[in-house]
Structure 1
Amino acid sequence: MRSSIAISELFTSLQGEGLDLGAPSFFIRISGCSIGCKYCDTKYSWKKGKLWDIDSLVKEVLKSKIPEVIVTGGEPVEEKNLSILIKRLSDLETVRKITLETCGHIFRDDLKYPKLKIVLSPKPPTMGVDFPTETLEKFLTTYEQVYIKFAAYDQKDLEVIKEFAYKNKNLIRAPIVIQPLEVPFEDYSYTSKRIFELVISDRKFINDFEIKIIPQIHKLIGLK
């Protein structure tokens, strides 16, 4: 019996956020999420999507002729067949890099593949969910190719980020990305400017860590 995964959508775009900003990428958006973030920008992906067998997903990746694949959600770590998909993608000669985007609430240790990079995107208090400190620490301890991309809307969010960063300074190996959080009641460019001002005002923080403030560029230029 073939392994299958419920998919919300497949599409081609640029990587609009984080350290790989601007890279042409093929996106696999896995459906389903139990976290329930208040201002999630892909709530449509919470519903169960179309079932795809993994062979067919691999064919779509090959057909795209794009060397970078992003597996996102929803919350892809909740998908039981995720490890099978990652392995199949990692085995493809034409795939250069696989990026897995997760909020870090659910830990898995079965994703150790050579081309995989894990991006942890924990949601701040503004999103109305608990901050997943323990599972983030497990990811950082278990995987080498991993970095954190913190979303932030206000000073309260930044204080949670700083507390985690200082507590786990020995585990953080890559630059810390701070991503302004898009909310429906404020213009995103305004939020981005305000987060920059809040971060840059804390000279100790930006000297103690390598910080990169990176807005979601696809939101600013109108891409998916």
Structure 2
Amino acid sequence: MSSDTQAVESRLRITEIFYSLQGESSFVGLPTVFIRLTGCPLRCGYCDTAYAFSGGEWMQISEIVRQIKQYKTTTVCVTGGEPLAQRCSGDLLKQLCDEGYQVSIETSGSIDISSVDSRVVKVMDIKTPGSGEESKNRYENIQHLTQKDEVKFVLCDREDYEWSKEVINKYKLSEKAQILFSPVHDGVVPADLADWIISDQLNVRFQFQLHKFLWDNEPGR
């Protein structure tokens, strides 16, 4: 392998690197460095990061690591777009773990997660019918989840809620990972979703997207 090829393989296209509070998952509220990779093969109807579909800046993994070291936190989230759409994202995840960071990745569930470093917490979506991308779910990924990983359902309406319950039962998800139910911002009334979960006694974690309430989803927040 030539040195030129090695240089290409050690870089990623980055939309932004920023420091904020984690807005969701079991890490909610923790000061976190976010590394947002550019590009996504999905087009969910509620997507709030369409600005990451294209553009970005090519960066060497070593430069990415240097940038995040300026922040006084050990928690790092690799997100997108869809971070696994870039071939070298696995190299970044491994490097971050080797550096001693507590690393999570936010992924759409449409791309194979089997090669993700076992030290990384995988926060994986299962796309509901309301997303418009239900057909892209890669259910084979479920076998690669562990109890430290998390499965997220973003719910647009009551139909999405009932559909998600069926998926949880079909794949015995409660035995495989933590489950997150998140209402679409300005969609499902959060109190209604909370009532449904309590009424059905579901073993799931209800979550808001904290950053949207604090900063109205400003890029880089």
TM-score range, shorter chain: 0.7 to 0.9
Rounded Cα–Cα distance in structure 2 between residues aligned with 1:191 and 1:103: 23
Say which of 174, 178, 181 aligns to 2:181: 178
Structure 1: which 5+ runs fail to align?
none
Q: Which residues of 2 match residues 162-177 of structure 1 at below 5 A?
A: 162-169=165-172, 172-177=175-180
Give the C-alpha shift of residue 40 in structure 1.
0.4
Match of 2:3 in 1: none
Give the C-alpha shift of residue 61 in structure 1.
1.8
Match of 1:82 in 2: 89
Name the SS of the counterpart of 1:198 in structure 2.
Answer: helix
TM-score (norm 1): 0.86
Rate the CA distance shift 1:113–1:212 in 2: closer, same or farther, 3 A.
closer
Rounded Cα–Cα distance in structure 2 between residues aligned with 1:23 and 1:127: 28
Letter in structure 2 aligned against 1:112:
D
Letter in structure 2 aligned against 1:167:
K
Say which of 108, 111, 126 aligns to 1:103: 108
Rate the CA distance shift 1:176–1:85 in 2: closer, same or farther, 3 A.
same
Question: Is 1:155–1:198's contact at 8 Å kept on the other side of the alignment?
Answer: no
Match of 1:197 in 2: 195
TM-score (norm 2): 0.87
Rounded Cα–Cα distance in structure 2 between residues aligned with 1:57 and 1:32: 17
Per-residue CA deviation, residues 168-197 of structure 1 (Å, 9 max, x unaligned), is 116633332101112xxx3x6x72223223
Count of aligned pairs between the two proteins: 209
Give the C-alpha shift of residue 47 in structure 1.
0.8
Give the C-alpha shift of residue 132 in structure 1.
4.5
Structure 2: which 5+ runs fail to align?
1-5
Q: Which residues of 2 match residues 3-82 of structure 1 at below 5 A?
A: 3-82=10-89
Rounded Cα–Cα distance in structure 2 between residues aligned with 1:158 and 1:46: 28
Structure 2 residue 134 is matched with structure 1 residue 130: yes
Question: Is 2:84–2:90's contact at 8 Å kept on the other side of the alignment?
Answer: no
Letter in structure 2 aligned against 1:46:
F
Match of 1:214 in 2: 207
**Range that drifts further, 43-52 or 145-154:** 145-154
Letter in structure 1 aligned against 2:16:
E
Say which of 120, 123, 130 aligns to 2:124: 120
Rounded Cα–Cα distance in structure 1 between residues aligned with 2:107 and 2:22: 15
Rounded Cα–Cα distance in structure 1 between residues aligned with 2:103 and 2:141: 17
Letter in structure 1 aligned against 2:156:
Y
Match of 1:139 in 2: 141
Rounded Cα–Cα distance in structure 1 between residues aligned with 2:61 and 2:127: 29
Name the SS of the counterpart of 1:149 in structure 2.
Answer: strand
Name the SS of the counterpart of 1:164 in structure 2.
Answer: helix
Give the C-alpha shift of residue 163 in structure 1.
1.1
Question: Is 2:122–2:149's contact at 8 Å kept on the other side of the alignment?
Answer: yes
Runs of 4+ aligned residues of structure 1 deviating over 4 Å after TM superposition are none
Question: Is 2:145–2:177's contact at 8 Å kept on the other side of the alignment?
Answer: no
